[in-house]
């Protein structure tokens, strides 16, 4: 199974951009890169996904390396409500396999 | 609220007892997933259904675990002869689609404590 590697934790200041990295050197050509986040005491929620091109939505941006072996989730202006565990996932057809994720702390 | 709902939210049971959890997906979602999450870890995939068919089961799903989704609507996850190691949060998610791009919507989970 393709795996992802993320830092255990990161800190950010409120209203500053945050770049959350993810390495996935064993990604296959058909794997999509998904990001979910889990706020305290809640189930995970979808953030963004992409295949090859960079993607933007109202929550975040996803920058995918040209060789697809790494990606970066970008929160343009972190708020206190963005404090969560962020999971980078390689998605095949049948399931999603989560790693331990990156715990993001946002300081006021 | 039309999100994914799970019942009960909390369950405390004694070792050796059977427990059953229910998940009601978002209406019209054809896929339903079960995950287990222990403290400090990401969710672990257990199984998933496309409509009423159970298409994949993780090796984590021992013979004490069984899941059903009658008529492709709600789903139940049963654990027989519970063990202390079964203590975890059990998450359900649903999605609409047949590809690896569909968005999964998660419920709030059922927290199981086995004494």
- The shortest CB-CB distance from A87 to any of B40, B42, B58 is to B42
Instruction: Please confirm whether the linkage preceding B8 is cis (ω < 30° from 0).
Output: yes
Please, where are the H alpha helices in B11-106? none
The CA distance from A81 to A39, in Å, is 8
Q: How many CB atoms lie within 10 A of CB A86?
A: 23
B34, B92 contact by CB (below 8 A): yes
Q: Which two tokens stand for residue A8?
A: 């255990």
Question: Is there a contact between B109 and A43 if contact means CB atoms under 8 Å apart?
Answer: yes
Q: Taken in order A14, A15, A19, A20, is the CA torsion positive or negative?
A: positive
Q: Which residue has the tokens 């994949």?
A: B56
Mean pLDDT (chain A, rounded): 92
Report chain B residues whose CB lies below 8 A from the CB of A95: 33, 45, 48, 56, 58
Least Cα distance to A38 among B109, B95, B24, B110 occurs for B109
Confidence of residue B57 (pLDDT cuts 50, 70, 90): confident
Report chain A residues whose CB lies below 8 A from the CB of B104: 36, 44, 46, 96
pLDDT value, residue A1: 56
Confidence of residue B99 (pLDDT cuts 50, 70, 90): confident
The CA distance from A51 to A60, in Å, is 16
Phi, then psi, of B71 in degrees rounded to 5:
60, 20
Question: Is there a contact between A44 and B43 if contact means CB atoms under 8 Å apart?
Answer: yes
Q: Which residue has the higher pLDDT, A94 or B42?
A: B42
Report chain A residues whose CB lies below 8 A from the CB of B4: 43
A49 touches chain B (CB under 8 A): yes
Size of interface A-B (CB pairs under 8 A): 55
């Amino acid at each position: 199974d393709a795996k992802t590697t993320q830092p255990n934790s990161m800190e950010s200041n409120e209203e500053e951009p945050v770049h959350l990295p993810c390495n996935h050197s064993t990604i296959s050509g058909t794997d999509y890169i998904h990001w979910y986040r889990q706020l305290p005491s809640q189930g995970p929620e979808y953030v963004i996904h992409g295949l090859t091109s960079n993607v933007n939505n109202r929550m975040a941006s996803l920058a995918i390396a040209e060789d697809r072996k790494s990606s970066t989730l970008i929160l343009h202006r972190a708020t206190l409500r963005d404090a969560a565990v962020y999971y980078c996932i390689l998605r095949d057809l049948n399931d999603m396999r989560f790693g331990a994720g990156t715990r993001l702390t946002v300081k006021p | 609220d039309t999100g994914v709902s799970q019942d009960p939210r909390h369950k405390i049971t004694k070792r050796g007892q059977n427990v059953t959890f229910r998940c009601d997906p978002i209406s019209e979602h054809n896929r339903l997933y079960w995950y287990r999450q222990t403290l400090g870890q990401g969710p672990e995939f257990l199984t998933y259904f496309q409509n009423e068919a159970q298409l994949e089961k993780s090796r984590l799903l021992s013979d004490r675990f069984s899941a059903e989704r009658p008529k492709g609507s709600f789903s139940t996850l049963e654990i027989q002869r519970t063990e202390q190691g079964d203590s975890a949060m059990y998450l359900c998610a649903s999605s609409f689609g047949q590809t690896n791009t569909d968005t999964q919507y998660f419920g709030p989970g059922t927290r199981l404590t086995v004494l």
